[in-house]
Amino acid sequence: MITLHSYLIISAILFILGIFAILCRRNAVAVLMGIELVLNACGLNLVAFNAFIKQSAQTHVLSGQVFTLFVIILAAAEAAVALAIILSIYQHFRKIDVMDLEQLKH
């Protein structure tokens, strides 16, 4: 039987891998993939806690799934905007290495 502890371990692994990708990768697309991993870990936590919460009169049955749907929509919008920015940076500088983009600071 899969317990809440199992879901939390998988979510923590996804979160750690996402943070590692954000901090260690120099490619902008890899950083975006790390952000997506962090958001997926958040969504997994929401669904897992909703599945294992004791239902009472004050709690709604689908509250975790609804919040996860919002996280997925937010991740899709973030990916679309970020990829458009990355394409614009590539057209201007001809590279997408985040460490080499010093001209954006000024």
Q: Note down pLDDT in tens along the chain; length 106 residues.
A: 888 899 999 999 999 999 999 999 888 888 999 999 999 999 999 888 888 876 665 666 777 788 888 988 998 999 999 889 888 888 888 887 777 776 666 5
Residue 97 has what pLDDT? Answer: 79
The answer to whether 61 and 55 have CB atoms below 8 angstroms apart is yes
Q: Report how many domains make up the chain.
A: 1
Cα angle for residues 89, 94, 99 (degrees, 5° grid): 70
CATH number at residue 94: 1.10.287.3510
The answer to whether 4 and 48 have CB atoms below 8 angstroms apart is yes
Q: To the nearest 5 percent, what fractions of the chain are helix, strand and coil?
A: 80, 0, 20
- What predicted TM-score, i.e. pTM, was given to this entire model? 0.80
Number of Cβ within 10 Å of residue 50's Cβ equals 19
Residues in the chain: 106
Residue ranges making up the domain that contains 46: 4-105
Residue 7 has what pLDDT? Answer: 93
Residue 21 has what pLDDT? Answer: 93
Residue 49 has what pLDDT? Answer: 87
Q: Report the largest interatomic distance among the alpha carbons of the chain, rounded to a whole angstrom.
A: 57
